[in-house]
Structure formats: structure tokens, C-alpha cells
């Protein structure tokens, strides 16, 4: 994954790869990704470099937008609708 400049107002890989989310879907599957995979990338100014802010931003996006998007690879984007999410777990790695 690329590291973005602070001038680009995006979260650096070192800060965002510590914050992780697991979505438990209604279809009894899970989806995992780090904060730097969140799409569209709004950067640290949007959700800060802490787990509480990241969790708040993911929750806000689900409730206001009705979906959550992330980029598992640079050449793909996955969008999950709110109706498919059963539970969300947030973790911070050292």
C-alpha cells in the first residue's frame, strides 16, 4: 500500500494500518480491512489517528451514506450496504 504525503491530507500508512475493522455480515461472512483502505479516503483530518475517531467515521458513513466502501487492492473497490452488516468490531494494533 502506498504512503500518502501529509500535504495530500491523507492518513499515513503507519498511522492508519494500526486501526482495523471487522464487519460481520448477515450472510455469516466477515470482511476485514485497515483504516488506510477506507474509501473514499478523506484522510486523518476526517477521522483522526485514533480508534475512537475511526469507529465514529465508519459508523457515520454507514448511517448517513447507507454503505461502507473500502479498497482491498489498488485496482478494486468494495461497497457494502448497511443492510448487509450485522456487527462491527474495531481494534488497534500496537
Which domain range does residue 12 map to?
6-23+31-89
Residues 36-77: pLDDT tens digits? Answer: 888 887 655 466 678 888 888 888 889 999 999 998 888 899
Say if 1 falls within a structural domain. no
Residue 94 forms part of a structural domain: no
Residue count (the chain)? 94
Q: Residue 70 forms beta bridges with which residues?
A: 38, 78
The total number of structural domains that make up the chain: 1
Q: Is 46 a domain residue?
A: yes
- Provide the pLDDT for residue 15: 62
Q: Do the domain assignments include residue 85?
A: yes
Lowest model confidence (mean pLDDT) among 2-11, 33-42, 80-89: 2-11
pLDDT at 1 over 50: no
Amino acid at each position: 500500500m502506498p504512503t500518502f504525503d501529509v500535504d495530500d491530507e491523507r492518513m499515513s500508512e503507519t498511522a492508519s494500518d494500526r486501526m482495523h475493522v471487522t464487519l460481520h455480515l448477515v450472510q455469516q461472512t466477515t470482511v476485514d480491512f485497515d483504516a488506510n483502505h477506507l474509501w473514499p479516503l478523506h484522510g486523518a483530518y476526517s477521522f483522526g489517528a485514533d480508534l475512537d475517531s475511526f469507529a465514529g467515521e465508519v459508523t457515520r458513513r454507514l448511517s448517513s451514506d447507507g454503505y461502507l466502501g473500502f479498497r482491498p487492492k489498488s485496482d478494486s473497490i468494495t461497497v457494502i450496504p448497511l443492510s448487509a452488516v450485522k456487527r462491527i468490531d474495531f481494534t488497534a494494533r500496537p
